[in-house]
Structure 1
Amino acid sequence: MTAIASGSSLLGLALVIPTVVAVLVMLLGRLPNLRDAASLVGALLLFVTIGALLPDVLAGARPVLPLVTIAPGLDLVLRVEPLGMLFALVASTLWIANSVYSIGYMRGNQEPRQTMFFAAFAVAIAATMGVALAGNLVTLFLFYELLSLSTYPLVTHKQTPEAMRAGRVYLLTLIGASMILLLPAIVWTAFVAGTTDFQLGGILGGKIGPLAMAVLLGLFVFGAAKAAVMPLHRWLPAAMVAPTPVSALLHAVAVVKAGVFTILKVTVYIFGLDTLQATGASQWLVYVAGFTIIAASLVAMTADDLKRRLAYSTIGQLSYIVMAAALASPLAAMGAAIHIAAHAVSKITLFFAAGSVYTAEHVTKVSQMDGIGRRMPWTMAAFTIGALSMIGLPPTAGFLGKWFMLAGAGSLHEWFAVAVIVVSTVLNAAYLLPIAARAFLKPAGGPVAEAPVAMVVALTATAAGTVLLFLFPEVPYRLASALVSR
């Protein structure tokens, strides 16, 4: 009981810490050193708080914190389980790296409105913690919407006409999809199951037919448009107009991860893997996600703008997780969970490197990167490690998730999914490795000149993390195993 009580307090702190940081950042706006220090210290405190939950969760505890009762049977509740623990741990860890990087980037590029940037970032992290630790669909929906709203000022940070257009696409797509599709899915689930609580094994088994279950799953998948499953994907490349630390937030720390996290959590805790297997209700999603993976990879190959290429890479990588969830195999679900962590640390490295190149060289196009690896060896070495992970090659974290997803697909004789993973791996190499080759093998054309040290430290740390996660995968592996244990 002591551990559970302690865990409940820690759940509350996970929301309070980033919220307090947002307030402090606004109050310290005229003192930039203290303002940025508040953001960094808050990130460290959140990491310690989430880390303190980990031993109990691995031991089987599931701390609960009731927040408020809106109406009878309509409660906001926090409850940590293995998948939420993994997501919260990833987001809190990468907030530290992103805080360090953002300080160097925002100052190095003399970006305006830095106080609002750091405050909105902290609110977005608070919303992410709410999504990760939600105990039911109602709580998840509330924080999911807050995440969309809090990141809008970040997407429109530059306040140029292009940024404002991107912001409209971003907000209309995400809020529109969640209100028109996700909310009705939650109401339908509550009506059929009599609850919206997340329960291992699901809550819909025997309560809804296969066809209705397939339709309901579609509402959840496309309602969670942050997962960028085609055709609800255009907001993601549009949002690349934002500063690079925002791109990192969108792609690695919070937004897209909230989308695929929601889909994976719903398949495991609302539908149930056994129920989906027995009914075949998720089979259609295997093909939709497979199409998204291949189509996004092909678009990435044609994109000369570096951030756009990385954006379409993200769209494809997210659908690995969606496809694995749709397979409804314990092995594939484990692969999906591990890939959430692997993609996060790898993709943030790639975006950090892109922002570093922009800051030091003002280069945004792949075609302009000849010899840049010789001028920026730390940056492009980190980029190469991130690229290898996106391809899925050892010794990088991206190998782990793909291995389990392939094993899960093979165990079910889902040869379409196996083929998609194999073909897309080749395509990933085709659009990422030429960047590294161009950077290191073309003539240098200038002296070594890296980005500000804070940026280089952050991207070096996340690149190292990409390798360390492969070498020491115990925590994500144990959490992924607990996710599917019966």
Structure 2
Amino acid sequence: MSLHAALPLLVLTSSLLSGLIVFFIPEARHRLRSTINLLGASLKLILVAYMLRGVLHGEEFVFRHAVLPNLDLLLVADALAMLFLTLSAVLWFLTTLYAIGYLEGSPRRSRFFGFFSLCVTATAGVAMAGNLFSFFVFYELLTLVTYPLVVHRGSEQAMRAGHLYLSYTLSGGALLLVGMLWLYGLAGQVEFTQGGVLSALGPEYGAQLQLIFLLLIAGLGVKAALVPLHGWLPQAMVAPAPVSALLHAVAVVKAGAFGILRVVYEVYGIEFAQSLSLLLPLAVAASITIIWGSLRALFQDDLKRRLAYSTVSQVSYIVLGVALFGPLGTIGGVVQLVHQGLMKITLFFCAGNYAETLGIHKISGMDGVGRRMPWTTVAFSIGAFGMIGLPPLAGFISKWYLGLGALEAQMPWVLAVLLASSLLNAAYFLPILQRAWFRPQTADWPDEQIPMRNGRETAALLLVPPLLTATATVLAGVFASSPMSPLDWAKLIAAREYLLWLP
């Protein structure tokens, strides 16, 4: 096996092996467990960086193993895969640092970090899957290894949330499987290919392909939290903050949105999907989700639940970009894959800091917290302003290109959706910032675990990750036009999907 064929496997192994080892480490050996976790995360970063450089220079990294005749396990590191894979590798490293600090002294840490690493392994597999079969394998593995993280606390509420999570995601997986098998019967093994692979089928298959598309999008839409398939997501917020951060920024919901990208662009092909009249209903579904998620967020006093409904809204920007027929909309949707991850993980890190340091879970209890935890609140403010779309932060770049894409696709009503969403984002984020920065503290903190010492507001491992991701949110916007920025990479992907050159 050549190095280029082995590298996708090594990327998977870097987190798989560390996760399996961690399961057998005694709870008291916390330093050993932390060392193995960080070694695995660091190795994955190195391997992904090497592959990223290779893909940029036209190198191919392909692993293929025949499971059955005409049914292969296929891993491919193409441009779209590397965008998602790089995001997951970077945020896994930061979330590992955060989780080590967050779970210090907690029970069942070996089990947590073991499944945590398996979750990242499955996410990497979703990113590099080269055909529908491989995607389905890792997509369902992601469901199974994430469940123990959702129910980690073991409370009655956590178990209910876990059962709801499984009922939704396994049902979505069943729909995805039916659509995949139906498509296999028509076209054989479907590999992800630029421009799609289904246009060669005759027009007599049009009705079947429309129904198959509905099954595939419904199956993926459960994890992508498209309305009305989103009910599991707010309930899953009983999980520890590192899990919430991972679920919303890079793992489960992002896997669903990423799958929709693959289906539209590389199974059907954007032009063929447009010819089958599939894109407009997808744009309407995404727009409804964007507005509905924002409206629901307005009425949540629990901070993590408000952020959860915000995710329902913000992830659908990716789906909306996919549904806009044109390269500019594609750029907006693809770059949102990264920008939403940076902004949302920042917000969940900060929410975890408030809960772990001061016992704050409710927005109504955040009065004056900005003076007690200024750096955490600065990071939260950057994430919130990014979500609103304030220039020059990362969120503004995504919305700008989605707006341009709407005009390019001659769908001006999408501009009204984007404007309404931004106003709603402001309506549910600005009151939080007003409480944190401008209201005086009116009562003792509910449960202050980490006293203020020498200007240090919380543990270093809890503070450094959100500061880094908040900085990345700023840099991704300010230097959006720089080479190798998320926007530059999104332009490369759009150019390849539309077979054109973009400035």
Q: Which TM class, normalised by the smaller chain length?
A: over 0.9
Give distance in 1, aligned partners of 2:289 and 2:140: 24
Residues 43-76 of structure 1, C-alpha deviations (whole Å, 9 max, x = no match): 111011111111221223332111x322111010
Asked if residue 317 in structure 1 is aligned to residue 297 in structure 2, the reply is no
Asked if residue 32 in structure 1 is aligned to residue 30 in structure 2, the reply is yes
What amino acid sits opposite 2:63 in the alignment? Answer: L
* Corresponding residue to 1:477 among 487, 493, 497: 487
Give distance in 2, aligned partners of 1:122 and 1:242: 16
Aligned position for 1:354: 351
Aligned position for 2:219: 223
* Corresponding residue to 1:214 among 188, 210, 213: 210
* Corresponding residue to 1:193 among 180, 187, 193: 187
Shift of 1:449: 6.3
* Corresponding residue to 2:58 among 54, 57, 60: 60
What amino acid sits opposite 1:472 in the alignment? Answer: F
What amino acid sits opposite 1:455 in the alignment? Answer: L
Shift of 1:170: 0.4
Give distance in 1, aligned partners of 2:228 and 2:393: 30
Aligned position for 1:454: 461
SS at match of 2:66: strand
Contact 2:321–2:334 (CA under 8 A) maintained in structure 1: no
Contact 2:325–2:409 (CA under 8 A) maintained in structure 1: no
What amino acid sits opposite 2:308 in the alignment? Answer: A
Contact 1:211–1:281 (CA under 8 A) maintained in structure 2: no
Give distance in 2, aligned partners of 1:288 and 1:314: 15
Contact 1:22–1:122 (CA under 8 A) maintained in structure 2: yes
* Corresponding residue to 2:177 among 183, 194, 206: 183
Residues 150-183 of structure 1, C-alpha deviations (whole Å, 9 max, x = no match): 010000001111100100000111011111x101
Aligned position for 1:378: 375
What amino acid sits opposite 2:129 in the alignment? Answer: A
Shift of 1:5: 4.1
What amino acid sits opposite 1:185 in the alignment? Answer: G
Aligned position for 2:157: 162
Give distance in 1, aligned partners of 2:341 and 2:384: 12
Q: Which consecutive unaligned segments of at least 5 residues does structure 2 have? A: 445-451
Shift of 1:401: 1.6
Contact 2:151–2:158 (CA under 8 A) maintained in structure 1: yes
Contact 1:346–1:466 (CA under 8 A) maintained in structure 2: yes
Select between 232-241 and 466-475 the one with higher mean Cα deviation: 466-475
SS at match of 2:74: strand
* Corresponding residue to 1:146 among 137, 141, 149: 141
Q: Please tell me the root mean square deviation across aligned C-alpha atoms, in Å.
A: 1.6
Q: Which consecutive unaligned segments of at least 5 residues does structure 1 have? A: none
Shift of 1:12: 1.2
Contact 1:349–1:382 (CA under 8 A) maintained in structure 2: yes
Higher relative contact order (CA 8 A, sep 6+): 1
Shift of 1:290: 0.6
SS at match of 2:103: helix
Aligned position for 1:13: 10
Matches within 5 A, 1:403-422: 403-422=400-419
Aligned position for 2:449: none
Q: Which runs of 4+ in 1 moved over 6 A?
A: 446-449
Give distance in 1, aligned partners of 2:229 and 2:43: 36
Contact 2:279–2:324 (CA under 8 A) maintained in structure 1: yes
Name the CA shift for 1:6/1:395 in 2 (closer, same or farther; >3 Å). farther
What amino acid sits opposite 1:461 in the alignment? Answer: L
Residues 105-157 of structure 1, C-alpha deviations (whole Å, 9 max, x = no match): 101xx322111000000000110110000010000000000000001000000
What amino acid sits opposite 1:113 in the alignment? Answer: R
Q: TM-score under structure 2 normalisation?
A: 0.92
Give distance in 1, aligned partners of 2:419 and 2:186: 39
Name the CA shift for 1:349/1:157 in 2 (closer, same or farther; >3 Å). same
Contact 1:58–1:478 (CA under 8 A) maintained in structure 2: no
SS at match of 1:291: helix
Residues 426-459 of structure 1, C-alpha deviations (whole Å, 9 max, x = no match): 1111101211111000114676662211100111
Contact 2:8–2:63 (CA under 8 A) maintained in structure 1: yes
What amino acid sits opposite 1:194 in the alignment? Answer: G
SS at match of 2:399: helix
Aligned position for 1:89: 86
What amino acid sits opposite 2:463 in the alignment? Answer: V
* Corresponding residue to 2:199 among 205, 213, 221: 205
Shift of 1:204: 1.2
Asked if residue 174 in structure 1 is aligned to residue 169 in structure 2, the reply is yes
